[in-house]
Amino acid sequence: MSFVAGSRGLRILWQGATGWEGWLAGALALLVCAACLRQWAQYLIISNRVVMRNGYTSRDIQTIMFDDIAEITLSQGPIARYLNIGTLVVHSKSGSNPLLLQGVSDPEIIKTRLEACRP
């Protein structure tokens, strides 16, 4: 990854770009990467389970049944709280890896809905 970033930087320098143009190009590249990664995972609440699905291939990455949910915790930093986004961590009773729902809008509402679905 650092090789790719370095080669892009050298290409910008060879084209004679000034400092602010390089910063602008870097910021634009980061925004494009963030937009692509945002579509990578989709979170679905289906009738009997919570599913994390790959947004590009539509394959299920991880699933937890409502019966298997032990605890749901919310993680938010100060900036995420200001932006009203957060990470929901869904722990299972079986002790398998928790399901991380990252970048969820209105996380308190989603947490309440998930807790209401639990038996």
- Mean pLDDT to the nearest integer, 84-93: 91
- Mean pLDDT to the nearest integer, 67-95: 90
pLDDT in tens, 7-57: 766 776 667 666 677 778 788 888 887 777 666 778 888 888 888 887 667
pLDDT above 80 (res 81):
yes
Cα angle 69, 105, 86 (rounded to 5 degrees) comes to 65
Q: What pTM was computed for the model?
A: 0.66
Sketch out the chain's domains with CATH numbers.
Answer: 2-36 (no CATH), 40-117 (2.30.29.30)
